[in-house]
Amino acid sequence: MSNQAFVRTEMLPEQHPPATTVGVIGWLRENLFSGWFNSILTVVSLAFVYYVLSGILPWIFQSAWNADSLNECREIFIATWGSTEGHACWGVVNERWLQLLYGFYPSDLYWRVNLTLVVTLIAMAPVLFSDQAPRQLWYVTAVYPFVMPWLLWGGSIWGPLMAAAGFGIGYLAYRVLVPVAGSLVAVIGAVVLPILWWFALAGTVAGAIQGIIPIGIESVESRQFGGFMLAVLLGIVAIGCSLPIGIVLALGRQSDLLIVKALCVGFIEFIRGVPLITLLFVASLLLNLFLPPGTNFDIILRVMIMMTLFAAAYMAEVIRGGLAALPKGQYEGADSLGLNYWQAQRLIIMPQALKISIPGIVSTFIGIFKDTTLVSIIGLFDVIGLSNAIRADTAWNGIYWELFAFIAFLFFIVCFSMSRYSMYLERKLHTGH
């Protein structure tokens, strides 16, 4: 009887995986050609992509960049490719790109717009990347709301300083009134006194100091603002101000105080029930009818206020959804720790609600930024309004796609960046299940 081993005594040498299961070929087989139906869909999709690119790529790259008019572009097309069809006239972008970006802002002052953009990015860094940004950048974030308008509009530096002084007055009023009259009176004083300062005294004090110590830069009127710069300006203000206002409105809507809840619900439902373009027309045409004669209420400031209120109403509903998604145990846990209402909201409730609401918040941000193009309807020369003015020029009359493609590219860069950041923030705050 022969001896037979049923257990292997030697290990076989390692073998490389089949070439068809790893690398590019393996990925293609798994994702694109995993079955006959997927293979057919892949081939049809590739054919469609080829069809689209075969029309778009020549239009982009077989184009004219150095031309002073549409007729000159057509002459270049005929001389080079023998036809005017399927070619882009990028000469309009090459000639007018500065106007599309800066509007009618004085060309010798472009450095102020560029500096404002740099300061904006620095001020956003500690907010967007709080873990990596140095703590010193928070000082830039704190002074940014006063530096930005001064750089863009110019004028006396004492105006922004007096505006900042109003917040200092509110803080001092709160600190003084809390031990004397209680927190409620202190909060009221911290709100009322700065408002009185801004509307009654700040302008007079700033003018008096400017007469003694004249410090300022060249003023630029709002009618000279335009282009993509105006869209970014409106977007930054609306996005930056709508989030805190939306949080307050969301908390007010869930409040047990009847008057507070009624006011918040009425505001939110009214704003959400009215188109943004209607609010912009109100800001542009009707608001002056309710102001005293001779009042000069800057049109861009009016648009900023309306867009901020519009975005805040939608933001409130997004955040309310995040609050409603939290289990009741989170509120009970905050109560068991002995936290008061504001401590519970700041430390436990609101961080979780904002985390849940990140996709909706960013979608609202992207939507309001794209809605800045509506200001062209009320006479502001944003990038869309300028494109219409450029096409009215006899040299470029009849050109469409090139201008709109350039505008779409500008908006895509900003909106895509916001979308990528929201995904980064979701991954960063992900704590598992």
pLDDT exceeds cutoff 90 at 229 = yes
Compute the average pLDDT of residues 195-202. Answer: 85
Who wins on pLDDT, 295 or 409? 409
pLDDT exceeds cutoff 60 at 87 = yes
Low-confidence winner among 138-147, 252-261, 290-299, 376-385 (lowest mean pLDDT): 290-299
pLDDT exceeds cutoff 70 at 426 = yes
Compute the average pLDDT of residues 415-432. Answer: 84
Who wins on pLDDT, 283 or 242? 242
pLDDT exceeds cutoff 70 at 306 = yes
Bridge partners for 197 per DSSP: none
- Chain segment 245-292, per-residue pLDDT in tens: 999 999 888 888 888 889 999 999 999 999 988 888 888 877 777 666
Read off the pTM.
Answer: 0.85
Bridge partners for 227 per DSSP: 382
SS3 string, the chain, reads CCCCCCCCCCCCCCCCCCHHHCHHHHHHHHHCCCCHHHHHHHHHHHHHHHHHHHHHHHHHHCCECCCCCHHHHHHHHHHHHCCCCCCCECHHHHHHHHHHHHCCCCHHHHHHHHHHHHHHHHHHHHHHCCCCCCCCHHHHHHHHHHHHHHHHHCEECHHHHHHHHHHHHHHHHHHHHHHHHCHHHHHHHHHHHHHHHHHHHHHHHHHHHHHHCCCEECCCCHHHCCHHHHHHHHHHHHHHHHHHHHHHHHHHHCCCCHHHHHHHHHHHHHHHCCCHHHHHHHHHHHHHHHCCCCCCCCHHHHHHHHHHHHHHHHHHHHHHHHHHHCCHHHHHHHHHCCCCHHHHHHHHHHHHHHHHCHHHHHHHHHHHHHHHHHHHHHCCCEHHHHHHHHHHCCCCCCCCHHHHHHHHHHHHHHHHHHHHHHHHHHHHHCCCC
Low-confidence winner among 200-214, 284-298, 397-411 (lowest mean pLDDT): 284-298
pLDDT exceeds cutoff 80 at 91 = yes
pLDDT exceeds cutoff 90 at 410 = yes
pLDDT exceeds cutoff 60 at 159 = yes
Q: What is the pLDDT of residue 98?
A: 92
Q: What is the pLDDT of residue 294?
A: 63
The model's confidence at residue 5, banded by pLDDT at 50, 70 and 90, is low
pLDDT exceeds cutoff 90 at 31 = no
Q: What is the pLDDT of residue 4?
A: 60
pLDDT exceeds cutoff 80 at 47 = yes
Which phi-psi region, left, alpha or beta, contains residue 88 (left: φ > 0; alpha: ψ -120 to 50)? beta
The model's confidence at residue 432, banded by pLDDT at 50, 70 and 90, is low
The model's confidence at residue 6, banded by pLDDT at 50, 70 and 90, is low
Who wins on pLDDT, 274 or 22? 274
Q: What is the pLDDT of residue 199?
A: 82
- Whole-angstrom Cα distance, residue 78 to residue 265? 63
- Whole-angstrom Cα distance, residue 286 to residue 275? 16
Q: Are residues 89 and 116 in contact, defined by beta-carbon separation less than 8 angstroms?
A: no
The structural domains of the chain, ordered by start, are: 17-61 (no CATH), 109-154 (no CATH), 157-217 (no CATH), 220-433 (1.10.3720.10)
Compute the average pLDDT of residues 61-77. Answer: 88
Q: Any idea what the Cα angle at residue 113 is, between residues 108 and 117, rounded to 5°?
A: 150
Compute the average pLDDT of residues 292-314. Answer: 84
Q: What is the pLDDT of residue 394?
A: 87
Across the chain, mean pLDDT equals: 86
Q: What is the pLDDT of residue 291?
A: 65
The model's confidence at residue 431, banded by pLDDT at 50, 70 and 90, is low
